[in-house]
């Protein structure tokens, strides 16, 4: 957003340079290409997990997405663990939130 001139930092304070309704939050093409290349390297089952989970938003539950993805809930959890370990796509909610996963930043 700084490269596109939407925001700037002056003296340690962030400043909005344009009206909010003028900001296009579309993913830049170079970043989009990088993400697409990472997704293409995943196996089809992992891609299906990302597809199904992405509909739920940032946070999702294994039991709901397993049904939507036609996967066993335990298998969906395994795939999320694989994605988390290999490419940092999703992470578990931790022991305090069993069955809940979330997307992570790259």
In a domain? residue 65: yes
**66-80 pLDDT, tens per residue?**
888 888 888 888 888
* Count of domains observed in the chain: 1
8 Å CB contact between 48 and 71: yes
In a domain? residue 17: no
User: What percent of the chain stands above pLDDT 90?
Assistant: 7
In a domain? residue 66: yes
Q: Which of 33, 40, 49, 53 shows the shortest CA–CA distance to 82?
A: 49
**11-56 pLDDT, tens per residue?**
889 999 988 888 877 777 788 888 888 889 889 988 988 888 888 7
pTM for this model (two decimals): 0.58
So what's the pLDDT on residue 105?
43
- DSSP-based three-state secondary structure for 71: coil
Q: Partners of 13 in the beta sheet?
A: 10
d(CA 84, CA 86): 6
Q: Which of 65, 34, 64, 31 shows the shortest CA–CA distance to 51?
A: 65
């Amino acid at each position: 957003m700084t490269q596109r001139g939407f925001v700037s930092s002056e003296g340690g304070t962030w400043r909005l340079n344009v009206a909010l309704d003028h900001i296009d939050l579309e993913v830049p093409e170079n970043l989009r290409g990088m993400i697409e290349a990472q997704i293409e390297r995943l196996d089809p089952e992992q891609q299906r997990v990302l597809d199904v989970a992405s509909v739920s938003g940032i946070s999702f539950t294994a039991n709901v997405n397993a049904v939507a993805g036609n996967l066993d809930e335990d298998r969906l959890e395994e795939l999320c663990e694989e994605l988390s370990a290999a490419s940092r796509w999703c992470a578990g909610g931790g022991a305090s939130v069993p069955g809940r996963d979330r997307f992570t930043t790259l």
